[in-house]
Amino acid sequence: MGFSWPRAPRELAEALLAFYGAPDTTGHLAGNLLSLLAAGLVFWLAARLGRRARAGLLALHDRVLRLGSEKRWLWNLSRLVAGLAPLLPWLIPAALLALATPLLATSPSTRWVFLALPLAWLYVLFGVQWLAGEWLVLRVAQAAGEYVQGDQARTAGQRARRLSQLLLVPWALFLVAAQAQPQGAMHTALTALVAASLYAAVARLLAPRAREYVLCLQTILPSSLDPLAERLLRPRWFHWTAPLLLPVALVYFVTRYLDRLFAGFDGYLRLKARWFRLRNRGDEDEDGAPLDESEAARAYQSWFAAELPGDEPAPFIDTGLEDAIAKAVQRWRDDRSDDNTLLVTGEKGSGKSLTVAHLSERLAESDPALRVVRLAVPPRTVAPQAVTALVAEALNEALDEGPASLVRNDGERPPTLLVLDECQNTFLSSIGGLDGWRALLRLTNARLDNLFWLVLINNQSWAYLCNVFGREYQFRNVVRVKRWSPTEIRSLILSRHHRSGLKLRYDEVLLSSRGPEAGNVRNAEQRYFSLLWDACRGNPMTALKLWLSSVKVGRREVLVGLPSLPPSATVEKSGENLLFVYAAIATHENLSGDEIVTVTNLPENVVRYALKAGFDAGFIRSSEGDGRYRLVPLWYHTVIHLLTRKNLLHE
């Protein structure tokens, strides 16, 4: 009996002889040679383009870091670019090969080029495997709390390079066979050979870092699985089991990278904060933590009041609002604009008044010729005569004829910036209650050269007035106060805390308990302020109240826990009549009992019951000086959210 090849290898050999040994039927050897040279030149140019693109993107990343741009999306984009840049010298040739392969296979004049494709693919595979191996070693070491640098990094890169070179042998067999016979038993066998080679290469690559690999997996897996991980990754079994657990580590690396990539987007931070709060729901006090009334706590709370101890100036956080207002005023001062009115609208506690106060001091230094008059409208100045008298007193002018008097006195008036704060006090949402706002509009619509109107109003009040009068028929220039970012909220809190002289310590629930970040105060601080920002919805006044409700003050330090959100169940149980009362307060910001009856047209006993229910629940308070009812800042967004869902508000 003669020697006989196994069926699969014999079929593969016959296919290879038929594919690679077939004569050139076209007879155009010169054309194939020219195509091969042209293809080689194009491939070389693609590889060179990839290297230049890598250098250019890395230079762009360094430039963004040096400039220190405040645009968070630009930081995230540069981080993504820096992560993809090392792969470009290999990805660009790979993309070229993927596009060219179908075209080369159908043309007789490019037959030699098609036969040389496996060599080009081996070049791409070598580079990708080399980078992937080096990246894997560095990530495993970093997850274990060690940072590979200098000689260790070079050694890891050289090891990854050698293993990538060894892997070219099975890859070459696979590519050649796949080109000649894409299907069959031999194709399956060579696929298994490549998979086994990759498996063995990963094990060899991780073997010198076996201890770091165990620590890396223990960081990712629950603590209850730590003994199992150590047993599976014993030295005698390491080469067999290490690659099996690699998908767990890869998922962790990818999620960490995505977490850092999207860290600058508010939507992602909000989702992350709420997920953390959901996972730690059992550690929160759902009923809200009572405010600490100890002597040390009262001394600490004084640093978060409107007026600081010792007449110290309150820290000012620049959110861009001051520059937006100053720009409009400066255009008017430079005679580049005829608009002499600007309305600023935002939530209660969003920083409108503090920003204007800071701007007034700035203008007093930079523009001494400009007279700045600040005036807070008293509660419910709703009569037209009262509004006109208030403006006349502020300007120290007689306005007997209303707007006509303003125009007549304009030539003798020095350049004046008139700031009218709390302008929601000029109207009531009832019949005859809008006359005061109409009187203010008549005054602001007068064409004047030496008077600039700066009107500050609550966002809910402005939304109501826009629905009544129309948005574009009142003020042409409107600045809406944006919600503060997490960074701005953090700066506000810490700038006040540092003045107390106490140290900060974060609760265990905010500290990571495993991995290289265990006990990392910086991560705990970032996690807390993400939670605080999400809870306060970017409102600085609410953030201050939430901070005080989440800290415990000692003699030398402040312990920071989770922000205590007020429960919403109490408000949601309120009946429709009660919600009408709360919506009226939210729309006007503050109302007396009689004004609530007028606005809602509800019986007095219903209004009193609603106020008592809100007062007992803690989300309605009455001012000691004027007896007017307001929403408690800590409850503001809870109540507003419910009223918005019930379509009881105008914004």
| C-alpha closest to that of 437 among 415, 462, 408, 412 | 462
Q: In terms of domains, do 127 and 222 share one? A: yes
The DSSP output letter for 320 is S
Rounded CA separation 634/79 (Å)? 37
Q: How does pLDDT run across 23-81, given as a tens digit for each residue?
A: 454 445 666 677 778 877 888 888 888 888 888 777 776 776 666 555 565 666 666 77
Q: What's the pLDDT at 286?
A: 45
Does a structural domain hold residue 248? yes
* Start-end of H helices in 167-245: 168-180, 185-206, 210-220, 226-232, 238-241
Domain hosting residue 143, numbered range:
7-20+27-256
Percentage above 90 pLDDT, the chain? 28
Hey, is 458 helix, strand or coil?
A: strand
Q: 604: which residues sit within 8 A by CB, 6+ positions away?
A: 593, 597
Q: In terms of domains, do 251 and 327 share one? A: no
Q: Who has greater pLDDT, 269 or 505?
A: 505
Hey, is 262 helix, strand or coil?
A: coil
Rounded CA separation 152/131 (Å)? 16
CATH code for the domain of 634:
1.10.10.10
Q: Of 155-169, 248-262, 506-520, where does mean pLDDT reach its minimum? A: 506-520
Q: What's the pLDDT at 107?
A: 64
Does a structural domain hold residue 282? no
Q: To the nearest whole number, what is the mean pLDDT of the chain?
A: 82
Query: Is residue 514 over pLDDT 60?
Result: no
Q: In terms of domains, do 329 and 188 share one? A: no
Does a structural domain hold residue 587? yes
Q: 463: which residues sit within 8 A by CB, 6+ positions away?
A: 649, 650, 651
- Cα 227 from chain centre: 38
- Domain end among 426, 452, 480: 480
Q: What's the pLDDT at 540?
A: 93
pTM for the structure as a whole: 0.73
Most confident of 23-27, 452-456, 614-618: 452-456
Q: Who has greater pLDDT, 512 or 116?
A: 116
Q: What's the pLDDT at 417?
A: 94
Q: In terms of domains, do 44 and 182 share one? A: yes
Query: Is residue 335 over pLDDT 90?
Result: no
Reading the block at residue 126, the tokens are 């070598």
Rounded CA separation 592/599 (Å)? 10
Q: In terms of domains, do 172 and 91 share one? A: yes
- Domain end among 418, 453, 480: 480
Q: What's the pLDDT at 86?
A: 81
Rounded CA separation 436/431 (Å)? 12
Q: What's the pLDDT at 282?
A: 53
Hey, is 44 helix, strand or coil?
A: helix
Rounded CA separation 272/255 (Å)? 12
Query: Is residue 311 over pLDDT 90?
Result: no
User: Mean pLDDT across the stretch 303-312?
Assistant: 81
| C-alpha closest to that of 125 among 97, 84, 83 | 97
Does a structural domain hold residue 214? yes
Q: In terms of domains, do 247 and 338 share one? A: no
Q: In terms of domains, do 206 and 347 share one? A: no
User: Mean pLDDT across the stretch 190-200?
Assistant: 89
395 pLDDT tier (thresholds 50, 70, 90): very high
**HSE of 501 in the Cβ direction (CA atoms, 13 Å)?**
4
Helical packing angle, 7-20 and 168-180, nearest 10° = 80
Q: What's the pLDDT at 92?
A: 85
For the chain, what is the radius of gyration of the CA atoms? 36
Query: Is residue 578 over pLDDT 80?
Result: yes
Q: In terms of domains, do 325 and 252 share one? A: no
- Domain end among 460, 480, 500: 480
Q: What's the pLDDT at 25?
A: 47
Q: What's the pLDDT at 32?
A: 66
Q: Who has greater pLDDT, 448 or 308?
A: 448
138 pLDDT tier (thresholds 50, 70, 90): confident
Query: Is residue 215 over pLDDT 90?
Result: no
Amino acid 484 reads: W
User: Mean pLDDT across the stretch 85-97?
Assistant: 83
C-alpha distances out from residue 185 to 12, 181, 193, Å: 9, 10, 12
Q: What's the pLDDT at 519?
A: 54
Rounded CA separation 187/12 (Å)? 9
Q: Who has greater pLDDT, 512 or 431?
A: 431
Percentage above 70 pLDDT, the chain? 86
Which residues in 361-405 belong to E strands, given as ranges?
A: 371-376
User: Mean pLDDT across the stretch 2-13?
Assistant: 50
Q: In terms of domains, do 236 and 351 share one? A: no
Reading the block at residue 349, the tokens are 């506690």
Does a structural domain hold residue 554? no
Q: Under a CB-based contact definition with an 8 Å cutoff, are residues 138 and 153 in contact? A: yes
Does a structural domain hold residue 384? yes
Does a structural domain hold residue 526? no
Q: In terms of domains, do 463 and 586 share one? A: no
Q: What's the pLDDT at 74?
A: 64
Query: Is residue 354 over pLDDT 60?
Result: yes
Q: How many domains does the chain have?
A: 3
264 pLDDT tier (thresholds 50, 70, 90): low
Q: At 523, which helix (H) or strand (E)? A: helix 521-536
CATH code for the domain of 361:
3.40.50.300
Q: In terms of domains, do 72 and 214 share one? A: yes
- Cα 341 from chain centre: 34
Does a structural domain hold residue 47? yes
Q: In terms of domains, do 121 and 236 share one? A: yes
Query: Is residue 525 over pLDDT 50?
Result: yes
| C-alpha closest to that of 13 among 169, 184, 171, 167 | 184
